[in-house]
Structure 1
């Protein structure tokens, strides 16, 4: 009996430790440095970039077109919120002719924190209570007086 208890206790301890082991999750598409070295500003076309690097994570079509290749590493422990450990972004900017203008690299420390505003936009009108909502439609809908259709949706 003692041996079974010790085995069960050991299994519970090992299971508890295993549950707290962080899980590393790689997300995104970061091109290999060898492929990035093949891109030359002023010479490489949009089609050549796609053949070398694949489909971008994000495309920004305004002004001079920009393709973003984004990769992130998250660490998750048990049931806690995933924590961002690393992020890399490669931006390939094209001129109007579709030729590479610049290639830039950014990492996690280059990012900026965005602070969200908690305010609510006021709307016009009256906020109805639950009783007003429930009782407000009483008497609004009635049967047609003559043989007409309901809301123009019936047969002619």
Structure 2
């Protein structure tokens, strides 16, 4: 009977050890990469004052974003985000390459920025808020009962 007790203790220790390894493995960070920035070798091929918008797209690819104004620049953005368990995702690195053009569409300047060059700017979409965002269909329908005005009916005058 003593051997059975020893085996169950070693089995329990093994299960605890495996559970600890599984818990430790579940806490490893997960990295996600977003966007594209051309390598330095490809950027070196672009000549300031000679290349145009079309030749830039042919050499390094289409930009991930471009300026709001039609004659503005091209922007290539790459971000690396770390997800670690239940914590909020954290931006580990962000790189931006900005290529500006003059009025003729010729490359004027090439700049590279990193996360260390400034603050993290959240890129988000700005949308006008709707007044009916938090109201369900029935609440909207029943909320209009007291707002009826017979003067607003066409042809009632």
Q: Which runs of 5+ in 1 are unaligned?
A: 115-132, 143-150, 152-156
Query: 2:95, 2:143 → 1: CA distance?
Result: 57
Out of 66, 77, 92, the position equivalent to 1:70 is 77
SS at match of 2:145: coil
1:26 aligns with 2:43: no
Task: Give the TM-score of the pair, scaled to structure 2.
Answer: 0.69
1:15 aligns with 2:19: no
> What are the equivalent positions in structure 2 for 1:19-58 lying under 5 Å apart?
19-58=26-65
Query: 1:25, 1:85 → 2: CA distance?
Result: 10
Query: 1:98, 1:135 → 2: CA distance?
Result: 55
1:43 positional shift:
0.5
**Contact between 2:81 and 2:89, CA under 8 Å: does it hold in 1?**
yes
1:3 positional shift:
3.8
Query: 2:22, 2:57 → 1: CA distance?
Result: 45
C-alpha change, 1:136 and 1:95, in structure 2 (3 Å) is closer
Which deviations, in whole Å up to 9, do the C-alpha atoms of 1:48-106 show, x marking residues without a partner?
Answer: 11112112111104164111001111112112111111111100111122211110111
1:113 positional shift:
5.8
Query: 1:97, 1:53 → 2: CA distance?
Result: 20
Task: Give the TM-score of the pair, scaled to structure 1.
Answer: 0.69
Q: Which runs of 5+ in 2 are unaligned?
A: 1-7, 122-140
C-alpha change, 1:13 and 1:43, in structure 2 (3 Å) is same
State the superposition RMSD in angstroms: 2.9
SS at match of 1:31: coil
1:108 aligns with 2:118: no
**Contact between 2:71 and 2:105, CA under 8 Å: does it hold in 1?**
no
